[in-house]
Amino acid sequence: MSSIKLSIAGLAVLATLTGCGGGAELTPQQMQKVSQFDMSKIGAFSQKLNKGMNDDELIFYAPYSIDLAKEYYQDALEAEKKDEKIAAYLQAKQALQNAYETKKMVKKYLADVADIKRRMQTQNTKEIYAGRYEDFLDDYNDLITLIDKRKTPEALEDKKTVMQEAKDLYGDAVVYRNINKAKIILDNMADDDLDELAPQHFEKAQKLYESARLRIKKEPDNKEMVKRVSKQINEAAQYAQTLAKDVFYFKELNEDELEGYFAKLHRHLAELNPKEKTNAILPLPIYAKIEYLQELEKSLEHTAQKIPAVKIKEDKSAEKVLPLATKDIEVKEDVIVDNNTTVIKKSQKDELITPEKAIEQESKEAIVVPAAVTQKSKLEAQETESKTVEQESVSPQEKSTDNTVEAKQVLKETEEPVSESAAQQAAASSIESTETTK
């Protein structure tokens, strides 16, 4: 900047400082204010400028204003006249203030541009699409510069195009990060003519890739959807490639190698059968082997689901686990008699029986008893009826005692094994005693 320009700017700034109109001569009082100006402020300004540029990131948020502030400050340091030094310093100070104002405006009007830049960085867009990313940064800086030059309406109009290109770039970066693996596989298949060996699966994978690409680009921040469709297309492309390679290798086999190829395949499938030694599937066709293994797996899963949860009660004395048992909890009156046994119908409910409950159950219930013993019980009941008259003269207390003793005797006889001949003798003896009583 020339000395003339500094003098003119200095006069304007000094006029503002002293309150005089532009171009008017300075009064003695105004000249005194200039002479009393603290020149140490010029030296201390470098610290404020450095703080703004680095700590407050004004180099990024207000590059135009910072450049002016640096230029004016350099003029202040190099000027020989005091009034020129003061004028240059005041202009540098004003430029720094403008830079802080610009930062506020940039954060307000370009917040969405800053956000998509941050998301691009998470996708390593700079490494994936270096040229396009640099173009985006240039456009972003142009918008900031327009705002810094107080051309905000023009900057807002240009921002529409910048944002559209930024979204497109960001979407492509997300697509690349997630499904570029599938694209490489499909491209390699086409280059190696493998697409002709599995044309149906190759075409299906291509269509799936294009569909996934459009969906991801449309909603790049829908992480759940991106993960799901990426998995589908990557696996589809890989399967198409695997299938094509299998067809290629098979076509390359000669007649002597075919037998060994299929024999190896059959053996590998048979090795998956855990019951191969007892129920061999090696002789079965390939599809029959697969179906058998599938059914076996379902059967094992079904069996595992059917295993009941066993309630365990600790036996502190012996430290043993009690087995799961059943206890009859309701006895119906229906009785079925066949040639050998009498079966009492019961409704049962699974319940864990402790040793104490088992003893109690034996003393109360009997599920199956021999027919001969049942017949003997009937005869004894008849004998009991014949003695009813005698029992009427007995006191209620004595009667209850006799019934208890008799019930225990019958229970004891029921619990003991009775042979068929012994039962017949007991029945005959009971009949004779009954006739005598009558």
pLDDT at res. 43: 83
347 forms beta bridges with 330
Rounded to whole angstroms, how far apart are CA atoms 165 and 281?
61
* Domain co-membership, 50 together with 88: yes
Rounded to whole angstroms, how far apart are CA atoms 305 and 49?
75
* Rounded average pLDDT over 263-273: 94
**H or E element at residue 70:** helix 63-78
Residue pointed to by tokens 């005692």:
401
Rounded to whole angstroms, how far apart are CA atoms 149 and 64?
7
* Domain co-membership, 176 together with 204: yes
369 forms beta bridges with 342
* Domain co-membership, 18 together with 115: no
pTM for the structure as a whole: 0.60
pLDDT tens, position by position, 11-25? 444 454 544 444 445
pLDDT tens, position by position, 146-179? 999 999 999 999 999 999 999 999 999 999 999 9
Domain assignment present for 304? no
Domain assignment present for 306? no
Given a contact cutoff of 8 angstroms between Cβ atoms, the answer to whether 327 and 351 are in contact is yes
| Residue finishing a domain among 55, 76, 109 | 109
| Number of residues written out for the chain | 438
Q: Which of 366, 369, 330, 335 minimizes the C-alpha distance to 351?
A: 330
pLDDT band of residue 95 (cuts 50, 70, 90) is very high
Domain assignment present for 344? yes
Please give the residue that has the higher pLDDT: either 266 or 399. 266
pLDDT band of residue 110 (cuts 50, 70, 90) is very high
* Domain co-membership, 212 together with 168: yes
Whole domain around residue 409: which residue ranges? 326-437
**H or E element at residue 200:** helix 199-218
For the chain, the domain total comes to: 4
* Domain co-membership, 214 together with 102: no
pLDDT tens, position by position, 36-61? 677 788 888 899 999 999 999 999 99
pLDDT tens, position by position, 200-245? 999 999 999 999 999 999 999 999 999 999 999 999 999 999 999 9
Domain assignment present for 25? yes
* Rounded average pLDDT over 48-75: 94
Q: Helix, strand, or coil here: 67?
A: helix
Distance of CA 269 to the CA centre of its chain: 33
Per-residue pLDDT at 428 exceeds 70: no
* Rounded average pLDDT over 108-114: 97
